[in-house]
Amino acid sequence: MRTWSAPAAAVLVLAGAALLGATGLFLAVLFLNSAPPNALSDRYRPQLDAVVYPEFEQNWKLFAPDPLQQNVSLEARLRTVAPDGTESTGEWLGLTARDIAAVRGNPAPSHLDQNQLRRAWDFYDSAHPEDGTAPGTRAKPSELYLKRTALQRIGSSPEGRRPYEVQVRVVTTVLAPPSWSREQVDTAPKVRELPWWPVDEDDLRGLW
């Protein structure tokens, strides 16, 4: 068995301790980078980013995102014109309510009923910020996608009437916190009405 001299053993112990310390520090940096925002990660964000990026970039998070804390309900209505030129504005139709009714009690609910409308709204909302910033390049595609999704969900217009405009609105209600929470939130419904969008034959092709 090889025997190390005292100086060599001291060097090995110090090197091992330094290696373990560096490894622990590096793992701590990765942990803080992947963890939800906290006092340490907020304070040392530049230093954390300098260590992690670009070689050790993380594309995952330590914890799942916060669950949805709002009820988001989409509604839509049509403006139609009769053969004699008479125009009419229809009632608001609860598109989200229809999807919920189709899913509730169904052992094998459709993926479209569960996600299509929600994804269409998320796509539009992310491309049309309400803070006044200009819409991005996805603004028009997201508008067309939401419009066609709404038209598909509304179904055919009354016989003999041709739709020429559609409008969508979203009603958002924040869920009340549990009784033991001290959090104060406004649970009053907030309504966001989108502008009337023109409807042409291309919008209806393959839908009705």
- The tokens describing 110, both together, are 């459709």
131: confidence class by pLDDT, cuts 50, 70, 90: low
The average pLDDT across 120-128 equals: 88
pTM: 0.65
Of 169, 120, 125, 205, which Cα lies nearest the Cα of 112?
Answer: 120
Is the pLDDT at 137 greater than 80? The verdict is no
d(CA 117, CA 150): 8
Domain ranges of the chain: 6-52, 70-204
pLDDT over 80 at 152, yes or no: yes
Quick one: which of 139, 136, 162 has its CA closest to 151? 162
Span 181-192, pLDDT tens digits: 788 888 899 999
The predicted-structure confidence for 96-119, as pLDDT tens digits, reads as follows 999 999 889 888 888 888 888 988
Exposure string over 126-149, b if 16+ CB within 10 A, otherwise e: ebbeeeeeeeeeeeeebbebbbbb
Structure confidence at residue 171 (pLDDT): 94
Give the tens place of pLDDT for each residue, 22-46.
Answer: 999 989 888 888 787 788 888 888 8
pLDDT of 1 reads 64
pLDDT score of 178: 82
The pLDDT assigned to 150 comes to 93
Compare 159 and 117 and report the one with higher pLDDT.
117
Q: Do 82 and 58 touch, CB atoms closer than 8 A? A: no
Residue 97's Cα: distance from chain center in Å? 19
- 50 token code pair: 């300098």
Tell me the H-state helices in the chain: 6-34, 39-43, 45-52, 95-103, 111, 117-127, 139-154, 201-204
Query: If you average pLDDT over every residue of the chain, what do you get?
Result: 85
- Secondary structure, 3-state, 148-207: HHHHHHHCCCCCCCEEEEEEEEEEEEECCCCCCCCCCCCCCCEEEECCCEECCHHHHCCC
Q: Note the pLDDT of residue 206.
A: 74
SS3 label, residue 91: coil
pLDDT at 20: 94
Q: Find tokens 């030129």 and name the residue.
A: 85
For residue 113, the 8-state DSSP code is I
Give the residue, 170 or 59, on which the prediction is more confident: 170
Paired residues of 192 in beta bridges: 170
In this predicted model, what pLDDT tens digit does every residue of 52-70 receive, in sequence order?
876 776 666 666 666 678 8
